[in-house]
Amino acid sequence: MLQQSPGPLSRRTALGLTGLAAATGLAGCSVESTVDSLKAPTPSTPAAPGNADLRLASRVASAFLSADDLAPPPFTKLRKRQLRRYPDTKAATLQSGKQRWQPLEKGLVATFEDAAVTARDADLVRLFASMAAAQRQLLRARGLA
């Protein structure tokens, strides 16, 4: 399906995702500059375009922050570089770290790819797409894919 790129986000996440894309170095990628304070829509009101992306970003953050508990340094360092201005993750739901780290890291590829396909904001789409590619690169470099 073809589409025009949607407009920028207009709300700020309550989860503190303001630095999610701003620090990434992606061309024109700045959630910081485009996101304003979040107000949840009333149940009878269709979600504002930005809200779906913010929920998505929260779910993705939960996934990779959970993986950090078990991941070896190359993976945690990658995410640290990617999210070094990620200011507040306290609202993200972290999963119990009882799995092996390899499946978690491999699973993040699909998590990022799915997020890139689902996101509406063009900057977030690029962010997730590039994170998926970075994850694939690192897995391959370490002989895991």
Partner 1 sequence: MSGISALQRALASEHAAVYLYGVLGGRTSRGDQPDLAASLQAAYDDHVAARDALVEHVVAAGADPVGSAAAYDLPHGIDSAAGVRRAALAIERSCAATYLDAVPAVAGELRRFLVTALGDAAVRELSFGGGPETFPGTKG
Q: Which residues bind partner 1 (CB under 8 A)?
A: 1-6, 24-27, 74, 78, 81-82, 109, 113, 116-117, 122, 125-126, 129-134, 136-138, 140-141, 145
Nearer to partner 1, 104 or 127 (CB): 127
DSSP 95: P
Task: Quote the least distance from Cβ 131 to partner 1, whole Å.
Answer: 8
CB contact burial 23-43 (16+ within 10 A = b; e otherwise): bbeeeebbbeebbeebeeeee
Task: Quote the least distance from Cβ 120 to partner 1, whole Å.
Answer: 9
Nearer to partner 1, 28 or 97 (CB): 28
Nearer to partner 1, 39 or 81 (CB): 81
Nearer to partner 1, 2 or 45 (CB): 2
DSSP 37: B
Residue 84 burial (CB < 10 Å; 0-12/13-18/19+)?
exposed
Nearer to partner 1, 69 or 113 (CB): 113
In degrees rounded to 5, what are phi and psi of residue 12? -105, 135
Helix, strand or coil for residue 94? Answer: coil
Task: Quote the least distance from Cβ 47 to partner 1, whole Å.
Answer: 17
Integer CA distances (angstroms), 68 to 28, 63, 122, 141, in order? 28, 9, 26, 18
Task: Quote the least distance from Cβ 3 to partner 1, whole Å.
Answer: 5
Task: Quote the least distance from Cβ 137 to partner 1, whole Å.
Answer: 5
